Structure 1
Amino acid sequence: MDLVREPAAKGTATDTRRARPAAGPGAHSPALRALAHRVSAATGDELPALLDAFWQDVEAHGGTPLVEPVEGDPRHRAVTFLWRGHRATRRVLLLANRLVDRERLADALLTHLPGTDVWYRTLRLRADHRASYRLAADLSPGDLPADPGARQSRLRALVPHAAHDPRNPRRLGDRWGQPDSSVFALPDAPAQPWAERRDGIPRGRVERHRLPAGALGAERDVWTYLPPGGPRPDSPVVVLCDGDMWFGRLALEDTLDALAADRAVPPPVVLAPDAVDRLTRWHDLTAHDDYVTFLADEVLPWAAGRLSLAPRPARTAVAGQSLGGLTSLYAVLRRPDRFGAALAQSPSLWWRPGLPHGVPKLAPADEAPWLAERFAADAANGADAADTAVGADATGASGTPCPPLRVHLDVGLHEGSMVDHSRCMYETLAARGHLVSLREYNGGHDYACWRGGIAEGLVNLLGRTGASRPRA
């Protein structure tokens, strides 16, 4: 199986990195223009029926957001987010993943169509975009403060009240008391053929276990996915960060069942520890050696004994998103004797030692990520991957050199400097002789994208030659 850099769809990586949504002039909705024209010509008696007909038409066409062609530009769409307000609605805030600047929330407010219950905001987006979003309506009286700082503070207070779009049936769960988000995918967005639950296929089994305190100093819940028919001694093993999200909220078992049914991968056993909470997650998933020890020397041996597995590094992958992606790369760096492959989606390569929880991601795009430097330093101090593995323990349990790592990187083109950091990591790993692939998609730091990308990554790392692939 070849692991190579995959250029982004619909153009080169450089072209797609420059693509940004445009709001305001140049991003107009034909439907909203037509509505505004009809409203201006309607009498007071005609207006309620006209607005009811508009909202019924929105629902009949699949709900929100509205997706319309951009005249003369087939590569983009006019995407209009809508809110049906009432007399008390003062403003509506759009929180779309990586499409709004959280430091300039006034720019993310919807516009009120005068004399109606319609609030709207139209963005011009490339036709392969996918994202999640939330909306927050403000009913508090009074205008926004004129002072920019006070206005930003007032709008920031709305953020915790944002929730899914009631007119969009496509939802994405969250955890730790956060509300669901809504999801949109434009017509050319990459297919996610394994993301949804399928009827009529064999089902795997999801269990939740509590492991005793060890390297982490506290008990930890671990989710397990056992493939249809049960595990085999030679089943590939995937250790996945954020089990409480993937199995507690996103039903990853449906994706794994579909992959097995299509024979896209040898059915894996998945071991997925809970993240617990934000502070624990930050502590565990920021290149924390005790957490790598927990995965390598506690979770894997526990599963091997309980499930009669014989995990080998060549068939054991570690996977994660964001800080979990950082952790997956750090785990293969430190313990290639346990983990021979890594799936890192939107890895937080901006992180470096000494950053406390909550500090902004300050590493600029042209600064080599700390973890890439760690891989490069190991290369400078030793042989290539073809001769020996990287990390604290460069050899396997038998004392023999470990083979090159297999790594799949995944990053969204709206993730700013994280795109450049992922490219740097790709080049560093490739130069060292590891088998590495990089996929760049048109989206953000978003489970709406990761839930399709995790399947693609597993196929890339574990897939069989000749695997069937469902039609988009």
Structure 2
Amino acid sequence: MTKVAPIHPELCRENVGSLDWWDRIQAMGTPLTLPLNTDKTLVSFIWRDEKEANSDIEAVYIDLYSKTPHPTQELTRFACIDNSDVWFWETELPSDWLGSYFLMPATHNQKPPVKNDRATMRRWWIQLMQSNAQHDPLNLIAPHSHGSGIKLSRVCLDKSSLFIFKNQNTPQHGQLHTTTWTSEKLKNERNIWLYQTGNNTNQKRPVILLLDGQHWANNLPIYHQLDELTLTGHLPEALYVFIDSIDASHRNTELACNPDFWNAIQQELIPRIQEQYALTPPYQNIVAGQSLGGLSAIYSALNWPEYFATAISLSGSFWWPDVDSMPGEGEFIQSVKHAPIASTPLKVVMEAGCYEKDMLKVSQLMAKALQANGHYVQFNEFRGGHDWLCWQQSLIRSLIKAFNTEFTLSKTI
């Protein structure tokens, strides 16, 4: 492997790898950053081999979302500084970068397969992730989960973006109730988190259904942001319904334009919630989702506008049902494009990341199709990728738009 020389001054110190040096790095936190100009920042990731003397580590890999290539195509590896326990990888990132990453040290017995076709590499990578993937222990920001048991760390170069991560340990102002929904129609059971903002418990209020709700309830909780934005008047007092997706298998079935799922929500879940809370009429409900959930959110609003007059879609999977249709018009986009002009226009807020490539393109195509079909569409291209960390900010931003934006047909996508 070609030897790589470090660039960041901290990695070039004479005492690199000493106890004093590690104490300094731990206090600074990683990744290390070095502004190169107004637009670019050098970002240096570091991993410590604490068993250096008798280590069996063969390689350290990193998956930096939206930056590193897909591991089935090319592996991104750390370099080791000679005669030290210091491993590092450096890259240039835009100075407003926000994204997730994980580290993955691998032993001599966990080398990549000799047969490196895509399917074989993918199986090896998934197996290694399940056993070895870890968050960055030197990162000072608490790790988060992407829902499959892997802890992720975050790169947040724009410090103003840290608003979304602060105050996670402060008391909640709203009322949280956790319950279980056992669905006769779907023949399954899942967690539901109900979070009511504001102090007036008798006030009629809008309902926001959040798909993949376990992420916003547990993995990347947004309770404090909802509280703060409600207190400052950016959001109205509301009831947020976080709907667990159970697991990947149920998610892939239920969020793929599945009428049974949405009929169960209308006929079972919403009536149950109405028994406990004073709600606004159904036409004021909002449904929000990301990726496959973004597809499902718009599907539900198009088919049941009497329940879901507003939809929020973040990086929607509008390639459905054929991923190979990207970046062209998938079947779902075509169905909207050729539908009669809407008699009941929806309010739609859509976002997709500039680093999502084909996913950004299909979101733009869907936004144009919806707008041509007579719906009110607000579309935003955010700085980020297909990443729960980016969607956390995107969701908050989209909720504010949904409640405070004057929707018109004049906006060009």
Q: For the superposition of Structure 1 and Structure 2, which TM-score range results when normalised by the shorter chain?
A: 0.7 to 0.9
1:99 corresponds to which residue? Answer: 67
Q: Which residue of 2 aligns with 1:66?
A: 32
SS, match of residue 21 in structure 2: helix
With over 3 angstroms needed to count, the CA separation of the structure-2 counterparts of 1:192 and 1:373, relative to structure 1, is farther
Q: CA deviation at 1:155?
A: 5.2
**Alignment deviations for residues 365-405 of structure 1 (CA, whole Å, 9 cap, x no partner):** 1x113322222122xxx3x33xx03xxxxxxxxxxxxxx21
Identity across matched positions, percent: 24
The 1-side partners of 2:236 and 2:104 are apart by 44
| Superposition deviation, residue 217 in structure 1 | 2.7
Match of 1:30 among 8, 19, 24: 8
> Once the 2 structures are TM-superposed, how far is the Cα of residue 105 of structure 1 from its aligned partner?
6.3
Per-residue CA distance 1:226-285 (angstroms, 9 max, x = gap): 123254453111011112222133222222111111111112101122111110111111
1:364 aligned to 2:317?
no
Segments of 4+ in structure 1 off by > 6 A?
Answer: 24-28, 150-153, 198-202
Instruction: Describe the shift of the 1:431–1:204 C-alpha distance in structure 2 as closer, same or farther (beyond 3 A).
Output: same
- 1:338 to 2:307 alignment: yes
User: What does residue 218 of structure 1 align with?
Assistant: 188
Residue 316 (structure 1) aligns with: 285
CA offset digits 1:277-300 (Å, max 9, x no partner): 110111111000011112233222
Q: Name the residue aligned to 1:440.
A: 381
Moved more, 24-33 or 273-282: 24-33
- Which residue pairs with 1:137 in the alignment? 105
Question: Partners of 1:374 and 1:153 in 2: how far apart?
Answer: 35
| Rounded Cα–Cα distance in structure 2 between residues aligned with 1:298 and 1:74 | 53
**Whole-angstrom CA distance in 1 between matches of 2:71 and 2:110:** 22
Q: CA deviation at 1:201?
A: 7.8
Q: CA deviation at 1:27?
A: 11
* Amino acid of the structure 2 residue aligned with 1:317: I
Match of 2:293, as an amino acid?
Answer: G
Does the alignment pair 1:79 with 2:49? Answer: no
Matched, 1:275 2:253: no
Cα distance in 2 between the residues matched to 1:219 and 1:120: 45
> Where do residues 147-296 of structure 1 align in structure 2 (5 Å cutoff)?
148-149=116-117, 157-160=127-130, 161-174=132-145, 178-187=149-158, 191=161, 193-197=163-167, 203-296=173-266
The alignment of Structure 1 onto Structure 2 pairs a total of residues equal to 398
Deviates further, 193-202 or 456-465 = 193-202
Gaps of 5+ in 2: 407-413
Q: Secondary structure at the residue paired with 2:218?
A: coil
Q: Structure 2 residue aligned with 1:126, among 88, 94, 115?
A: 94
Tell whether the 8 Å contact from 2:212 to 2:242 is kept in structure 1 after alignment: yes
* Closer/same/farther in 2, CA of residues 174 and 156 from structure 1, 3 Å limit: closer
Matched, 1:350 2:319: yes
- Which fold has the larger relative contact order, with Cα–Cα distance below 8 Å and residues 6 or more apart in sequence? 1
The residue type equivalent to 1:446 in the other structure is: D
Deviation for aligned residue 1:200: 7.8
Tell me, yes or no, if the aligned pair for 1:208 and 1:224 is still in contact at 8 Å.
yes
Q: Does 1:90 align with 2:51?
A: no
Query: TM-score when scaled to structure 1?
Result: 0.77
SS in 2 for 1:415: coil
Q: Which amino acid aligns with 1:306?
A: Q
Once the two structures are TM-superposed, the CA of residue 166 in structure 1 deviates from its matched residue by 0.4
Q: What's the CA shift for 1:343? A: 0.9
Provide the C-alpha distance between the structure 2 equivalents of 1:26 and 1:118, rounded to a whole number of angstroms.
13
Q: What is the deviation of 1:156?
A: 5.2
The alpha-carbon distance between structure 1 residues 143 and 268, as it changes in their structure 2 partners (threshold 3 A), is: closer
The answer on whether the counterparts of 1:100 and 1:108 sit within 8 Å (CA) in structure 2 is yes
Q: Match of 1:34, as an amino acid?
A: C
1:114 to 1:411, Cα distance in 2 relative to 1, 3 A? same
Cα offset for 1:363?
A: 2.5
Deviations 1:326-367 (A, max 9, x none): 110111111101101011111111221xx6xxxxx32321x1
- Mapped partners of 1:335, 1:237: distance in 2: 15
After superposition, what is the alpha-carbon deviation per residue over 1:401-452, rounded to whole angstroms, capped at 9, x for unaligned?
xxx2111111112212001011111211222232211222222211111111
Q: Which residue of 2 aligns with 1:456?
A: 397
Distance 1:94 1:241 in 2: 29
Asked if the contact 2:257/2:299 (under 8 Å) is kept, the reply is: yes
Whole-angstrom CA distance in 2 between matches of 1:126 and 1:112: 25
Structure 1 stretch displaced more, 281-290 or 106-115:
106-115
Letter of the 2:289 counterpart:
G
Contact 1:171 1:180 in 2 (8 A): no
Residue 118 of structure 1 aligns with an amino acid whose one-letter code is V
Give, in whole Å, the separation in 2 of the partners of 1:237 and 1:309. Answer: 7
Q: Which amino acid aligns with 2:22?
A: W
Q: 2-side partners of 1:454 and 1:266: how far apart?
A: 15
CA 1:193 to 1:156, structure 2 compared with 1: closer, same or farther past 3 Å? closer
Distance 1:350 1:26 in 2: 40
Q: Which one of 85, 102, 111 corresponds to residue 117 of structure 1?
A: 85
Q: Is the 8 A contact 1:409 1:439 kept in 2?
A: yes
Corresponding residue for residue 375 of structure 1: 336
Aligned counterparts of 2:141 and 2:93: Cα–Cα separation in 1:
19
Query: In the aligned structure 2, how far is the partner of 1:176 from the partner of 1:194?
Result: 19
Q: CA deviation at 1:121?
A: 1.0
Q: Offset of 1:177 from its aligned partner?
A: 5.3
Q: Is the 8 A contact 1:266 1:464 kept in 2?
A: no
Paired with 1:25 and 1:343, the residues of 2 have a C-alpha distance of 47
- Once the two structures are TM-superposed, the CA of residue 112 in structure 1 deviates from its matched residue by 1.4
Change (3 A) 1:347 1:139: same
1:167 shift after superposition = 0.2
